[in-house]
């Protein structure tokens, strides 16, 4: 029996919010480390590295809160999908350029010297799954929001 | 459709509110990041001070620079060929980690007779150089070191760098002929790799005076003119 759209909407939003909470936690606690990771991507001018490193975890946290609470939900779901798309493209570009492939997606810890490094394709694949989840959540949310109230 | 303006409005609200929270909290927390000085602290690719060795197998910049100047080290660029062409340590050889299996055998003769084989990439936490070093050790090369954050540090210290194509290792000449580094203007990929080898020859240190590197570039450009595949020398190539 298929899940009713409103139930699916809630489950998906809750799952996406958990991902966002988890992603933001370590970055909020260690802004210096996260700034180093942002810098390592070599896509932002130096003057924007710290502001983005400060702002991004809070954006993720607020998106998660919106998704769970139901406030500004359509905007939050769409913005999350856009955010994940940007992250995914950044990973692909960094991989193609051969630079600084430490993801920084969920942890700010640098890779241990000499330790086995996580393959970049793993990060890209994982982010593709998360992007799929975010897009599906946004699609379901917008469908539910577009329905007339019962 | 009514949803579109709603989505845009909500998104802008979330962005603004998160920025407000972020910068307000950052201002009051003791370990907040300096936003106004970000350009100084973050964009200057790397601090000028030489970082201490943090783990076995890593080499400090000053040690790497000394080995470079005396021609006792060969530098291996673990980044992509594209990044290598944008700029690299003068005389370095391109060996992207993912091409190791195909390129290493051709490159191996160029590594012999050196005190150190130094792998580098770019970024504080870039693992490519570590991965390349591991591959090299597994392949039997013993004197392998990693210059952490090598490309940024090297540029920050204005040490000699070069731009342009060099041969992927698989296309390099296995037994290069020595040639004076300052006059080399290789027009072919093979010649570029030969130049790299020559620049590292102990008898002819590549750049005993770092300040001469830009002059060499100008002389080189005057003598030969720009040509595709030419490796040009400079000390402040932009990344």
Residues of chain B positioned with their CB less than 8 A from the CB of A57: 22
> Has residue B208 been placed in a domain?
yes
User: Does the pLDDT at position A82 exceed 70?
Assistant: yes
Distance CA B125, CA B117 (A): 20
By the CB < 8 Å criterion, does B33 face chain A?
A: yes
The number of distinct structural domains making up chain B is 1
Domain range for B218: 61-234
By the CB < 8 Å criterion, does A148 face chain B?
A: no
The CA-atom distances, in angstroms, between A118 and each of A122, A125, B52, B156 are 7, 12, 25, 29
Shortest distance, CA A17 to any CA of chain B (angstroms): 14
Output the six-digit token pair for B223: 């003598």
CB contact under 8 A, B8 and A142: no
Under 8 Å between Cβ of A67 and A73: yes
Question: What pLDDT does residue B37 have?
Answer: 56
> Has residue B5 been placed in a domain?
no
| Mutation to test the A interface, candidates B41, B125, B152, B168, most A Cβ within 10 Å | B125
CB contact under 8 A, A54 and B22: yes
Q: Which residue of A has its CA nearest to B42?
A: A46
CA dihedral A87, A89, A94, A95 (to 10 degrees): 110
The CA-atom distances, in angstroms, between B90 and each of A123, A135, B108, B234 are 33, 46, 19, 8
By the CB < 8 Å criterion, does B7 face chain A?
A: yes
> Has residue B13 been placed in a domain?
no
By the CB < 8 Å criterion, does B59 face chain A?
A: no
- pLDDT tens digits, A5-33: 788 899 999 999 999 999 999 899 989 88
Q: What is the CATH number of the domain that holds B105?
A: 3.40.250.10
Short-list B73, B70, B75, CA closest to B92: B75
User: Does the pLDDT at position A57 exceed 60?
Assistant: yes
Shortest distance, CA A4 to any CA of chain B (angstroms): 21
By the CB < 8 Å criterion, does A76 face chain B?
A: yes
> Has residue B115 been placed in a domain?
yes
Distance CA B42, CA B36 (A): 11
Output the six-digit token pair for B187: 């027009």
Phi, psi torsion values for A97, nearest 5 degrees: -80, -15
Mean pLDDT by 10 residues, chain B (239 residues): 85 94 91 69 42 61 88 90 90 89 86 87 85 89 88 91 67 38 37 44 40 38 40 46
By the CB < 8 Å criterion, does B11 face chain A?
A: yes
Interface confidence: ipTM more than 0.90: no
* Lowest mean pLDDT segment, chosen from A59-63, A74-78, B42-46, B174-178: B174-178
Q: Which sign does the torsion angle of CA B186, B107, B160, B125 carry?
A: positive
By the CB < 8 Å criterion, does A97 face chain B?
A: yes
């Amino acid at each position: 029996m298929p899940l009713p759209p409103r139930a699916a909407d809630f489950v998906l939003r809750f799952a996406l919010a958990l991902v966002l909470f988890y992603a933001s936690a370590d970055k909020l606690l260690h802004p210096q480390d996260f700034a180093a990771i942002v810098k390592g991507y070599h896509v932002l001018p130096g003057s924007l590295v710290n502001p983005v490193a400060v702002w991004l975890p809070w954006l993720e946290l607020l998106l998660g809160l919106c998704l769970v609470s139901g406030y500004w939900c359509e905007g939050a779901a769409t913005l999350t999908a856009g955010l994940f798309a940007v992250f995914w493209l950044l990973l692909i570009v960094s991989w193609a350029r051969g630079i600084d492939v430490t993801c920084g997606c969920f942890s700010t810890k640098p890779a241990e010297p000499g330790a086995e490094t996580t393959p970049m394709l793993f990060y890209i694949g994982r982010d593709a799954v998360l992007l799929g989840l975010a897009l599906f959540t946004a699609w379901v949310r917008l469908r539910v929001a577009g329905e007339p109230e019962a | 459709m009514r949803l579109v303006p709603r989505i845009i409005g909500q998104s802008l609200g979330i962005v603004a509110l998160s920025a407000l929270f972020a910068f307000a909290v950052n201002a009051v927390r003791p370990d907040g990041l300096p936003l106004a000085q970000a350009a100084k602290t973050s964009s200057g690719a790397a601090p000028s001070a030489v970082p201490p060795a943090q783990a076995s197998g890593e080499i400090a910049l000053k040690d790497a620079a000394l080995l470079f100047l005396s021609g006792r080290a060969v530098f291996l660029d673990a980044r992509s060929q594209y990044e290598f062409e944008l700029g690299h340590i003068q005389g370095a050889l391109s060996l992207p980690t993912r091409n190791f299996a195909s390129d290493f055998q051709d490159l191996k003769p160029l590594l012999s007779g050196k005190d150190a084989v130094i792998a580098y990439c770019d970024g504080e936490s870039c693992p490519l150089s570590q991965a390349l070093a591991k591959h090299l050790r597994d392949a039997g090369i013993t004197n392998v070191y990693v210059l952490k954050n090598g490309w940024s540090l090297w540029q920050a210290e204005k040490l000699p760098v070069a731009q342009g194509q060099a041969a992927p290792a698989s296309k390099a000449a296995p037994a290069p002929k020595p040639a004076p580094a300052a006059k080399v203007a290789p027009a072919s990929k093979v010649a570029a790799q030969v130049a790299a080898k020559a620049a590292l020859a102990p008898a002819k240190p590549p750049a005993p005076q770092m300040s001469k590197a830009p002059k060499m570039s100008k002389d080189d450009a005057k003598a030969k003119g720009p040509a595709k595949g030419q490796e040009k020398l400079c000390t402040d190539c932009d990344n």
